[in-house]
């Protein structure tokens, strides 16, 4: 009995010792983790280094350097910003309303100050629009239809247009400059352009011949966002090659480019990168005034016969992205949709046979008005654009394999432009630089490139320009994509590729677009 009691005491003693040991180990592990976290926090580098090649001026309105346009979005702000899926959102304008076909009323934020402490007001908006109209700048097109700016009060402006512009609020994405800062100065030549004030997250604190220093703007109006980065050094280079080399050796933390040979300059290791669809959209416009192309089955047969992936692979070595629709670059109005007929040669045959066409002697033909008609079309391409000439040859071969005869019509630039203006082509191989606006007037409006007319499409175009209800607009655009797929007046081919390369030690939400590289910069650090 006594021996059992001693045994139980011994077991309990051992259990207590083991429990204490486990507790001590856990405690030490927790302490080690806390020390590790603390060390990591103390090791955060709150400075990043960027670069500009060929700086002309840091004034975004006067600069012709795209690199400057991108980086100055950290210093200046627009009335209306775009989200990472290209949706308009308030910035210096807290709200806007379309009052009539040609007028907008804009309410401004009242708690905004310039980095020098002065108030931001409606006068700054009018001053900026006036400068955009009397200065040669990439933003001039944003306000080309503005005929007047009425100041209602310090924080309300009315913008008058010369015509109805669908989604005009997307034009309000230009940077706003301070009127008081430039008062009495010659805007184009003043030395103040080397160190102007802005309302953005960062402000210029130092300007030297080889670099510009930005620090956090303590006057920034958005108190809901805490900015981790305290300093941005913008190194200045005389050439893009020097900028690439500086990134390659680790002296820059982020570069952005649409150069499809970037890896030849910076290699493939030692950094992270993100690739996104760029702004240049290449497509075929099928002239519906043409005898053959007036038939939807022929247009769809052509669409089914073209392998976009093959074009991107064979001609561009996968340095472009295949596309299905003009808004197929991440736009919120086209997400999770497919407006293409896809590559399907069986469908080519089926659709033509169902519509009375027969395949004979290597081509599709049909007897109409007692005459045999063979599908044969001219494809217009600019002769000096060698990449597009190669694309045209690829398309010709693909369509020939499906019995559709294509003759490539190469035209010098002036003649090409004249033929486009007069729509003297069967099929046009062209491209556009897409706007931040989701307006598709170029493709579906009056006098469009395909001579395409559809009453339902016109109704949709009229409805979307007169509503601000997002769900209604999204529903209408979904229907528009469905009609596009059925009627195929255009065949989207590909978009160029835009690359963001960045230091692998850069931490945070890095979600760039061609509109803005710095979404989520508030939380970045190294």
CATH fit for domain 77-184, picks 3.40.250.10, 3.90.76.10, 3.30.450.40, 3.30.390.50: 3.90.76.10
Give tens-digit pLDDT for 299-350: 999 999 999 999 999 999 999 999 999 999 999 999 878 888 889 999 999 9
- Asked if residue 238 lies in contact with residue 246, where contact means CB atoms within 8 angstroms, the answer is no
CB atoms closer than 10 angstroms to residue 186 = 9
Domain 43-75+200-271+503-526: give its CATH code.
3.40.190.10
- Mean pLDDT to the nearest integer, 419-434: 96
What does the DSSP 8-state code read for residue 175? B
Residues 6+ apart with CB under 8 A from 367: 373
Closest CA to 512 of 338, 334, 329, 335: 329
**pLDDT, mean over the chain:** 92
- Residue 5 neighbours by CB under 8 Å, 6+ apart: none
Band the pLDDT of 16: cuts 50, 70, 90: low
Q: Please check the confidence at residue 40 and state whether its pLDDT lies above 80.
A: no
Give the span between the Cα atoms of 66 and 60, in whole angstroms: 9
Beta bridge partners of 275: 499
**Bridge partners of 317?**
none
Instruction: Give me the pLDDT at residue 43, please.
Output: 79
Q: What sign results for the dihedral spanned by CA atoms 171, 279, 166, 327?
A: negative
Residue 19: the pLDDT is 64
Give one DSSP letter per residue of 439-505, joined into a string: --HHHHSTT-TT----HHHHHHHHHHTT---HHHHHHHHHHHHHHHHHH-SEEEEEEEEEEEEE-TT
Q: What is the pLDDT of residues 443-457, one digit of tens each?
A: 999 999 999 999 999
d(CA 336, CA 330): 9
Q: Where is pLDDT greater, at 202 or 373?
A: 202
Distance from C-alpha of 414 to C-alpha of 131, rounded to nearest angstrom? 32
CB atoms within 10 A of CB 131: 22
Contact 109, 221 (CB under 8 A): yes
Cβ neighbours, 10 Å, residue 487:
17
How far, in Å, CA of 400 to CA of 409, rounded? 16
| Band (3; pLDDT cuts 50, 70, 90) | low
Sort 35 into a burial class: Cβ within 10 Å, 0-12 / 13-18 / 19+.
exposed
Collapsed DSSP state (helix, strand, coil) of residue 21:
helix
- How far is 441 from 464, CA to CA, in rounded Å? 12
pLDDT beyond 60 at 1 = no
The pair of structure tokens assigned to 20 is 């204490």
Domain boundaries, the chain: 43-75+200-271+503-526, 77-184, 279-498
Query: Considering only the top CATH level, what class is 279-498?
Result: alpha beta
Q: What is the 3-state secondary structure (H, E, C) of 315-376?
A: HHCCCEEECCCCCCCCCCCCCCCCCCCCCCHHHHHHHHHHCCCEEECCEEEEEECCEEEECE
Residue 139 CB neighbours (<10 A) = 20
- The pLDDT value recorded for residue 466 is 83
Report the predicted TM-score, pTM, of the whole model to 2 decimal places. 0.87
Do 43-75+200-271+503-526 and 77-184 come out as alike in CATH topology? no
Exposure string of 339-378, with b = 16+ CB inside 10 Å and e = fewer, is bbbebeeebbbebbeeeebeeeeebbbbeeeeeeebbebb
- Provide the percentage of residues in the chain whose pLDDT is more than 90: 84
- Give the torsion sign (CA, 505, 257, 519, 211): positive
Q: Please, which residues bridge with residue 338 across strands?
A: none
pLDDT tens digit sequence for 57-95: 999 999 999 999 999 999 999 999 999 999 999 999 999
Q: Collect all residues with Cβ–Cβ distance below 8 Å to 482 and sequence separation of at least 6.
A: 339
Confidence check: pLDDT of 30 > 90: no
Q: Grade residue 35 by pLDDT with cuts at 50, 70 and 90.
A: very low
| C-alpha–C-alpha distance, residues 398 and 301, integer Å | 12
**Cα(373)–Cα(396) distance, rounded to whole angstroms?**
19
User: At residue 33, does pLDDT exceed 90?
Assistant: no
Question: Residue 39 — pLDDT band, cuts 50, 70, 90?
Answer: very low
Q: List, for residues 147-169, the tens digit of each pLDDT value.
A: 999 999 999 999 999 999 999 99
242-286: pLDDT as tens digits = 999 999 999 999 999 999 889 999 998 999 999 999 999 999 999
Counting beta carbons within 10 angstroms of the beta carbon of residue 188, is it exposed (0 to 12), middle (13 to 18) or buried (19 or more)? middle
Tokens of 513: 């677009």
Over 80: is that where the pLDDT of 6 sits? no
Report H helices in 183-317: 240-248, 262-266, 296-305, 308-316
DSSP string of 86-139?
--EEESSEEEEEEEETTEEEEEEPSS-B-TTSPBP-HHHHHHHHHHHHHS--TT
């Amino acid at each position: 009995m006594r021996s059992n009691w001693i045994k139980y005491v011994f077991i309990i003693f051992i259990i207590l010792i083991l429990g204490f040991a486990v507790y001590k180990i856990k405690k030490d592990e927790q302490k080690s983790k806390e020390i590790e976290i603390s060390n990591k926090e103390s090791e955060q580098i709150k400075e990043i280094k960027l670069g500009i090649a060929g700086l002309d001026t840091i004034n975004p309105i006067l600069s012709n350097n795209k690199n400057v346009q991108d980086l100055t979005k950290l210093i200046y702000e627009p009335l209306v910003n775009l989200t990472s899926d290209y949706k308009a959102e308030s910035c210096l304008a807290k709200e806007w309303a379309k009052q009539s076909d040609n007028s907008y009323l804009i309410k401004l934020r009242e708690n905004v100050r310039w980095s020098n402490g002065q108030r931001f007001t409606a006068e700054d908006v009018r001053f900026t629009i006036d400068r955009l109209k009397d200065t040669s700048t990439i933003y001039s097109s944003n306000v080309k239809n503005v005929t007047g700016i009425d100041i209602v009060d310090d924080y309300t402006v009315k913008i008058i247009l010369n015509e109805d512009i669908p989604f005009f609020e997307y034009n309000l994405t230009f940077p706003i400059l301070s009127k008081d800062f430039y008062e009495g100065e010659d805007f184009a030549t003043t030395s103040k352009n080397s160190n102007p004030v802005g309302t953005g997250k960062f402000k210029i604190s130092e300007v030297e011949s080889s670099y510009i220093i930005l620090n956090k703007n303590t006057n920034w109006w958005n108190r809901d966002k805490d900015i981790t980065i305290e300093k941005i050094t913008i190194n200045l280079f005389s050439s893009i090659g020097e900028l690439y080399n500086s990134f390659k050796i680790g002296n820059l933390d982020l570069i952005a480019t649409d150069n499809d040979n970037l890896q030849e300059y910076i290699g493939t290791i030692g950094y992270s990168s993100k690739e996104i669809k760029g702004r240049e959209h290449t497509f075929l416009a099928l002239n519906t005034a043409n005898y053959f192309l007036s038939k939807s089955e022929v247009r769809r047969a052509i669409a089914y016969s073209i392998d976009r992936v093959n074009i991107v692979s064979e001609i561009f070595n996968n340095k472009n992205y295949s596309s299905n629709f003009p808004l197929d670059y991440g736009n919120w109005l086209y997400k999770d949709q497919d407006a293409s007929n896809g590559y399907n040669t069986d469908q080519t045959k089926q659709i033509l046979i169902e519509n009375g066409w027969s395949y004979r002697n290597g081509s599709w033909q049909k007897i109409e008005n007692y005459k045999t008609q063979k599908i044969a079309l001219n494809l217009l391409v600019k002769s000096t654009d060698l990449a597009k000439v190669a694309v045209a040859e690829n398309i010709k071969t693909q369509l020939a394999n499906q019995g559709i005869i294509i003759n490539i019509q190469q035209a010098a630039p002036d003649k090409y432009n004249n033929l486009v203006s007069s729509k003297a082509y069967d099929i046009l191989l062209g491209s556009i630089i897409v706007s931040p606006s989701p307006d598709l007037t170029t493709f579906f409006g009056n006098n469009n490139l395909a001579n395409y007319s559809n009453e339902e499409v016109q109704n949709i175009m009229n409805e979307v320009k007169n509503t601000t209800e997002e769900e209604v607009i999204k529903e209408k655009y979904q229907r528009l994509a469905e009609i596009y797929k059925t009627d195929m007046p255009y065949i989207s081919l590909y978009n160029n590729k835009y690359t963001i390369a960045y230091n692998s030690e850069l931490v945070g939400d890095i979600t760039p677009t061609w509109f803005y590289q710095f979404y989520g910069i508030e939380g970045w650090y190294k």
